[in-house]
Amino acid sequence: MKFIIDDASIEKIKEIYDTFAVDGVTTNPSILAKNGKQPFETLREIREFIGPEAELHVQVVAADAEGMVEEAHRIQKELGMNTYVKIPTTKEGLKAMKDLKKEGANVTATAIYTQMQAFLAGKAGADYAAPYVNRIDNLGANGVRAAKDIHDIFKKNGLKTEVLAASFKNSQQVLELCQYGVGASTISPDVIEGLIKNDTVTMAVNAFTKDFEGLCGAGMTMK
């Protein structure tokens, strides 16, 4: 499973890259708005930091297929070849996906709340489909189950599209999809921090240090 950061703050991205093995960054218009700077200023800064090989997923805002394709061209031109254009999986979005795939663009179908949306995006040739796990949970359905179903739908229908699971709110959701072997998950920095935060582990490590210092003296290490 690829491990992607869902954020646009360059400080947070740098912090996460420093510690974790990361495959790229996703953004959406709300994430860019929260960051405050002009969208392309932020995105160019992210691209420069993550390098040309890493995946950068950037969403279009237009509601019609023609507008989406136009925005996609600008996004690709500004941000380079490993940029994935995120297209909302609406009727117009499906048309834009088909057109963009004909041109050889990288496409991530986003705003996926149902298995059928994902199937249609797969048929349109999308590289990734992004089910919104926690938002689906909030509707009273099961977001993890939906992401697993979508993974199975792609495999059973011979579609090359991979799941890019999104909108996580806790470690359990991430773990279940990691165990299932979905293609990728994009996770916000606070949820990423929670993946490794464990007081029991901290206590165990502290106890080792205390015992060692009892033997060798305070502040001593294996040197």
Residue 65 or 164 having the CB closest to ligand E4P: 164
Q: Are the beta carbons of 137 and 93 closer than 8 angstroms?
A: no
Nearer to ligand E4P by Cβ, of 12 and 135: the residue is: 135
Among 14, 86, 91, 148, the one annotated catalytic = 86
CB of 192 to ligand E4P, least distance (A): 12
Q: Which long-range contacts (CB under 8 A, 24 or more apart) does 35-42 make?
A: 35/8, 35/9, 40/78, 42/8, 42/10
Is 98 assigned a catalytic role?
no
CA distances to 26, 150, 160 from 178, rounded to whole Å, are 18, 14, 19
Q: Quick one: 69 or 130, whose CB is closer to ligand E4P? A: 130
Q: Which two tokens stand for residue 25?
A: 């960054």
CB of 151 to ligand E4P, least distance (A): 16
> Which residue shows structure tokens 């360059």?
10
Which CB, 28 or 76, lies closer to ligand E4P?
28
Nearest to ligand E4P of 36, 217 (CB atom) = 36
Structure tokens at 153: 């739908």
For residue 2 the two structure tokens come to 């690829």
Give the footprint of ligand E4P on this chain (CB under 6 A).
6, 26, 28, 110, 130, 132, 134-135, 166-167, 186
Residue 210 in tokens: 């205390």
For residue 28, CA distances in Å to 1, 19, 205, 222 come to: 21, 24, 39, 47
Tell me the closest approach of the beta carbon of residue 166 to ligand E4P, in angstroms: 3
Half-sphere exposure of 172 (CA within 13 A, CB side): 6
List active site positions.
86
